[in-house]
Amino acid sequence: MKRFLLTMAVLTLALASLAETYDVSIGDNFFDPQIISISPGDRVRWTNNGVNTHRVKSKESYWDSGFLAPGETYTRTFNTAGRFDYNDPQY
């Protein structure tokens, strides 16, 4: 049993090293890009490039970045496959 767990841990670490980080720019009233396709384990990093405070919130309430001042970022790792719609609830 210990051998299996160790193998799984090594495999998990190997897969984590293959994970990608995708950048999304938050502007005033838009996201760029608007649509991205990622794989389980990948990360998305949103950066507020606008002049106003913004939020990134899952429409299903899975996550909420809280308020991001200009220049701040929010990163989320997606461990499962699926469609994840999000918006800035302020706009």
Which residues, including other chains, have CB under 8 Å from residue 75's CB and lie 6 or more apart?
21, 43, 44, 45, 46
What's the CA dihedral at 41, 13, 8, 80 to 10 degrees?
A: -10
Read off the pTM: 0.79
Let me know how long the chain is.
Answer: 91
Tokens 């160790």 sit at which residue?
6
The per-residue pLDDT for range 10-22, each reduced to its tens digit, is 445 555 568 999 9
Q: Which of 26, 21, 24 is nearest to 88 (CA)?
A: 26
The per-residue pLDDT for range 38-61, each reduced to its tens digit, is 999 999 999 999 999 999 999 988
